[in-house]
Structures are given as C-alpha cells and as structure tokens.
Amino acid sequence: MRFGGLDLSAREKNPSGVCIYPDQCKTLFDDEDILNFFYDIDIVAVDAPLSLEIPWRDSERELIRKGFRPLPLSMESMKELHERAKRLSERLSGRIIETFVAPMRIPLVEVLAKRKGWNKHERDAFLCSLTAKAYEEGRVLVFGKKHPIYIAERSFLEEEIGRMVQNLPPFGKP
C-alpha cells in the first residue's frame, strides 16, 4: 500500500506540504499539482477539516478535553480550509482520512526533518503520511465518532521515526 500525507493551506497561494511515505516530501501550491502528486495513493491523511460543524465537531471537543487546542471551525480561515479540503478530497482516488498533527510533533520528528531538510509544511505532511500508515496498521487513536480524527500512537511514531533516523548517514556524510 502507498500512504500519503497532506498539510493543506486554506489558499492555493500559500504553501501546502505533501508527502508519500516514507520520505518523498515537498511543498506545492496548486490544487492540480496536489492531485497529481497523490495520483494512485491508497490512503491520504489530511491535516484539514473534512467536515464542518460550528464551532466544534465531536472530535474537536474530545481533543480539547485531552488538552489539545484545535482552531474553531467558526474562523473564516478554517471555513476556507474546509472548503478546499472537501474539494480536493472529492477528487482524490484513495481513501481520505482526517488527522491533526500538533500532538504528533515529537522531538524525534524535528531531528528527522532537520536532517532531511524539510520545512514545517513538509514535516507536517510527513506526519500525515505516517498517520495514514498507522491507520492501515490499526495503530491510531480515534477522536470523535461522527467526524473522526485519527492520530498515530506515540509508540508507533517513535518506532517509525527512530528507525528512519538510525538509517540516516552520519552528519556531514552524503
């Protein structure tokens, strides 16, 4: 299976991170470029609201109870992000799931991102792609029933990212 991750921006003029697991990450802007990048991907995890319920969906209420701070969907930029995510998800060929990357930004991912030369959008897209893989392997936490948000288990993140960091060449070596 092939796993994709999308750290989507609300507008095409702003950068969106895209990644095909394990590390084919880059920054794109246009919807068509994003759709072409994810051609023939089995599962794409998107860090953007795929459904809209103002101000909070059941999934966000659960995240808030756990101490996380998602942005309210009543914000104009979040409404725009939802519209773009909905439009793209209707045109992607694989299964589309929603994720929320903030809880997955563990220190180890910062090490990997720095070593790979990823910007913050590419780092978050990588985390999304890792969530798609975790989803397939049943290693996700699910927040909400009506509008589920999937977050990779911390142990899964540490195992996968740790293995990737270990396999990198030493600093200063190509």
Burial of 9 (C-beta count, 10 Å sphere; 0-12/13-18/19+): buried
pLDDT in tens, 48-96: 999 999 889 999 999 999 999 999 999 999 999 999 999 999 999 899 9
Phi-psi domain of 32 (left: phi exceeds 0; alpha: psi -120 through 50; beta: other): alpha
pTM: 0.95
What are the residue ranges spanned by the domains of the chain? 3-166
Which residues, 6+ apart, have CB-to-CB distance to 14 below 8 Å? 29
* pLDDT score of 59: 96
